[in-house]
């Protein structure tokens, strides 16, 4: 059975982090380790994490998502690696179904679940009811609901260690965040790996919780800047993959 390293970047997100960690404890049956990478939080996140039997990386300031993820990836020991937003809740069966998909073929590199809040194809089409109801209806194992795609959103980003060994860590030029997940997906596909949407896995996403703490104009400016960085790096527009 594969061991999963679950890497959770956090910045002043104690209330969200508490729920995220609890959802992992309650709903993940496969062997796992949790790595919390804290970006200089002042809200008690560090103290809470120290009491939660996790690996903890404490950074002095807010380095952003790609840098924090890379710190976690460097110390991860799992066969599979999961980058997980602190504003998500894992649900019963979701991890099992994502792992089944990831290891169903050697050329699958990254998989991602369906959710209530995401850009692109991972956004559920049916009305959201409750976390428990959506999970009970959607997390029934069914490989017929898996679909190849060109992009997985970084909110719940499960990939093989072999992929990281091949293409490396997240590109920190996209710090503090935005398009680092698109970049990683593009690099994975260039290396010959397939990406899969796991239609029989649902997780809950509160939605852009960390960025909501920042000024909206700043957020929109960052999106524009990093979109241009992607185009300059690869010569293609990542919007075509959404």
Which two three-digit tokens encode residue 21? 């960690």
Q: Is the pLDDT of residue 213 over 60?
A: no
Contact assessment for residue 41 and residue 10, using Cβ atoms and an 8 Å cutoff: yes
Contact assessment for residue 208 and residue 177, using Cβ atoms and an 8 Å cutoff: no
Q: Is the pLDDT of residue 210 over 80?
A: no
E-only strand ranges, the chain: 4-10, 32-39, 55-59, 80-84, 88-89, 108-115, 146-149, 156-160, 194-205
Torsion of CA 143, 146, 148, 153, to 10 degrees: -140
Q: Is the pLDDT of residue 208 over 80?
A: no
Chain centroid to Cα 10, Å, comes to: 12
Q: How do residues 1-23 score in pLDDT, each as one tens digit?
A: 789 999 999 999 999 999 999 99
Q: Domain locations in the chain? A: 4-241
Q: How do residues 82-91 score in pLDDT, each as one tens digit?
A: 999 999 999 9
The CATH number given to 4-241 is: 3.90.550.10
Number of CB atoms found within 10 A of residue 25's CB: 12
Q: How do residues 9-62 score in pLDDT, each as one tens digit?
A: 999 999 999 999 999 999 999 999 999 999 999 999 999 999 998 999 999 999
Cut 0.85: pTM above it: yes
For 92, which DSSP code?
Answer: T
- Only one residue has tokens 């690996």, namely 55
Q: How do residues 185-198 score in pLDDT, each as one tens digit?
A: 999 999 999 999 99
Higher pLDDT, 189 or 218: 189
The residue among 209, 172, 227, 165 whose CA lies nearest residue 12 is: 209
């Amino acid at each position: 059975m594969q061991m999963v390293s679950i890497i959770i970047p956090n910045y002043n997100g104690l209330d969200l982090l508490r729920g995220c960690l609890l959802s992992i404890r309650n709903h993940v049956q496969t062997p796992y380790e949790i790595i919390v990478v804290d970006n200089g939080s002042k809200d008690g996140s560090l103290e809470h994490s120290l009491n939660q039997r996790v690996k903890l990386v404490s950074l002095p300031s807010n380095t952003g998502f790609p840098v924090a993820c890379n710190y976690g990836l460097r110390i991860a020991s799992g066969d599979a690696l999961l980058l997980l937003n602190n504003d998500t809740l894992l649900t019963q069966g979701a991890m099992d179904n994502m792992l089944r998909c990831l290891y169903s073929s050697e050329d699958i590199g990254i998989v991602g679940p369906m959710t209530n809040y995401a850009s692109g194809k991972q956004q559920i089409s049916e009305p959201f009811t409750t976390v428990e109801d959506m999970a009970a209806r959607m997390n029934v194992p069914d490989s017929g609901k898996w679909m190849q795609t060109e992009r997985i959103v970084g909110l719940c980003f499960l990939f093989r260690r072999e992929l990281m060994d091949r293409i490396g860590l997240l590109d920190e030029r996209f710090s503090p965040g935005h398009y680092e997940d698109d970049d990683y997906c593009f690099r994975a596909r260039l290396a010959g790996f397939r990406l899969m949407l796991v239609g029989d896995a649902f997780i809950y996403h509160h939605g852009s919780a960390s960025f909501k703490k920042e000024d909206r104009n700043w957020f929109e400016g960052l999106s524009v800047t990093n979109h241009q960085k992607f185009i300059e790096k690869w010569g293609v527009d990542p919007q075509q993959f959404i």
